[in-house]
A and B are shown apart, each in its own frame.
Chain A
Amino acid sequence: MLRDLTIQNYRLFKDFHIDELARVNLIVGKNNSGKTSLLESIYLLVEKGDTNVFLKVLCSRDDSNEYYDPSFDSVIKRGLLPDTPWQISNLFHDHNYVASNQILIKSNKDQDLRLRIILDDWQRIEISQFDKFSSLNFPPAFGLLFLYTRGKINLKNLIPVDKNGLIQTSHLLNVSHQSRPQAISNQFIVSTNLSYNQLASSWDKISLTSEESTVIKALQIVEPDVERINFLSQPTSLGRAIVRLKGRDKPVPLNVMGDGMRRILGLAITTVTSEDGVLLVDEIDTGLHYQTQTDMWRLIVKTAQRLNVQVFATTHSWDCISAFQEVLSESSDPSVGKLFRLSARGEEIRAIPYTAEELAVAVPESIEVR
């Protein structure tokens, strides 16, 4: 579990430090205070600087956004990259793409984890270490190096960048991306709903295991009559996910049951498939009525404890914070959860912590923590 995190020169963070992280961390803060950047940094670190993950992160910030899809890995693998190049300058706090500019994301309290993302002149990089790039016909101006270390383990990755600071998709087309070890699964959910394809493939891992009931219970938070869920192998006009409701002969397609069902399904499936990993959820309350949020947090907190998942979620919602506090207060170990507000003063961003005890003071008195 990550206990601390230092982020230097990544997006809004010049030199950011957050400490005493909990198992379930709720992140609040005004717009542009770095909430999503924090989730991204954690994702990049726990995914060991995987370039697929990096491109996914870039894509998710793309203004057009249309290319972002959680099944992006398969898109890259199929070579179906968007035509527009990605500008990398915005990754750096100073918005510069000069050689030797570098991002550092590290954690050292629990395990010594370190990811450096360095922009360097292509000529200065020992390309021979990255055999997949030996076939590039025209050497690009820069390379973006991903250097990951965990104890004695070293991983290196490289992405070519042109003289304008752009990642040209043509450079990536012929590159086979390393498939990463699947032992630990980390998940990043953004406000865009998870695709049913993604959920269906995750469901295959859960179906007929003891975690199946966790997912059913999650759906019952929104619709108490749900008895079973299944995914059709072929999408029909009704969509892919169907549920059986108490007292009904025929299954009902999930997508006629509203956003909340799809959202809670996404949360439940991703949580139970993140065993020993990290779950990152941007705007966790999206689509969920405030009355369901207490049950949602109960599900997430209990599952995270049982399956050793560390959760980082963001919200703007008071109801979401209030529900979080309620669930922590009934937990036998309230320190399982913590709230952090990212607070900017000039260039500095600090994480202001609120323990469960402090939330138990603030929430009933309606003292603002956002």
Chain B
Amino acid sequence: MPNAPKPTALKPQQLLVEGKNDQHVVWALCQEHQLPETFSVIAPKQDRDQDKGISNLLPEIQVKLKGEDLQTLGIMVDADQDLAARWQALRDRLVASGYNIPQTLPPQGLVCPAPDPYLKKLGVWIMPDNQLPGIIENFAAQLVPDEDELLPIAEDTLNKIEQAGLNRYSAVSKPKALIHTWLAWQEKPGKPIGQAITAKVLQSNSSLALVFVDWLKRLFI
């Protein structure tokens, strides 16, 4: 077996995300809000498939938190269908690592100071908004301009094909189908979410985006 590649130099402040797509969303929001580059955004080497996602990430968080040079660790994961279960699983790990974590996840995202010199400052954001089940695509849908007329049509369309039994996506992937349908109908069709933010097709100053950016600032800046 070839040896695992050497770790690359990362900033002492790091944000763990679930995939490359999420990485680009964070980068785009940082760019739009001109946040200084004080942290690395880290996606797993291979994008996880949906089932394994969090079960892989949890042990990784525990190992990351032991790192010598890490100062701040942010964790950004999807709630998927059960926000409470996801939060509980994360919370259990963090409590086991020595953190004092509130019972409920604050709606504006968790920021927790380092409890001792060997632990790190910690942040948790559960997509889309720390309050509802869902995934990063639900978050992206919140960045669609308020008066947008295409989003309701896209939703209708999805409902229709579901009623006709023509949808090939599962119920879990519906938010993904929705936002990418909507993105397909823009001036330059087919942009990924991150690029759509940069192109200002999705609004980086929507209220949910502002709460998220504020969480990043409290954690890393």
User: Are the chains A and B members of one assembly?
Assistant: yes
Residue positions of A touching B, CB distance < 8 A: 29-30, 290, 294, 318-319, 322-323, 325-326, 341, 343, 345-346, 348, 350, 352, 354, 357-358, 361-370
**Chain B stretch 6-62: residues in CB contact (< 8 A) with chain A:** 6-8, 10, 44-45, 59-60, 62
Verify if B192 is at the interface (C-beta below 8 Å from A). no
CB distance from B97 to the nearest CB of A (A): 12
8 shortest interchain CB distances as A-B pairs? A345-B117, A368-B7, A322-B3, A366-B7, A361-B59, A362-B63, A318-B6, A363-B4
CA distance A365 to B68 in the complex (A): 16
**Bound: A78/B118 CA distance, A:** 49
Contacting pair A367 B64 (CB below 8 A) = yes
Residues of A contacting B45 in the complex (Cβ-Cβ under 8 angstroms): 364-366
Q: How far, in Å, is B78 (CB) from chain A's closest CB?
A: 19
CB atoms of A361 and B6 under 8 A apart: no
**Interface size range on B against A:** 20 to 34
Q: Given that A358-B63, A368-B67, A369-B66 are contacting pairs, would A322 and B4 also be in contact in the complex, using a CB cutoff of 8 Å? A: yes
Closest partner residue, chain A, to B62 (CB atom): A358
Note all chain B residues with C-beta closer than 8 A to A325.
Answer: 4
Q: Are B60 and A350 in contact (CB under 8 A)?
A: no
B164 within 8 A of A: no
B: residues with CB less than 8 A from A are: 1, 3-8, 10, 44-45, 59-60, 62-64, 66-69, 117-118
**Are B67 and A319 within 8 A (Cβ)?**
no
Is the beta-carbon distance between A367 and B60 smaller than 8 angstroms? Answer: yes
Q: How distant is the Cα of A325 from the Cα of B3 in the complex, in angstroms?
A: 10
Q: Assess whether A366 is in contact with B3, with CB atoms less than 8 Å apart.
A: no
Separation of A68 and B62 alpha carbons in the complex (Å): 42
Question: Which residues in B have their C-beta under 8 angstroms from that of A322?
Answer: 3-4
Which listed residue (B4, B59, B67) contacts A366, Cβ 8 A?
A: B4
Interface centre among A318, A345, A350, A361 (most CB of B within 10 A): A361
Cβ of B212 to closest chain A Cβ, rounded Å: 25
Asked if residues A354 and B59 are in contact (CB atoms below 8 Å), the reply is no
**Is B66 in contact with A352, judged by CB distance below 8 angstroms?**
yes
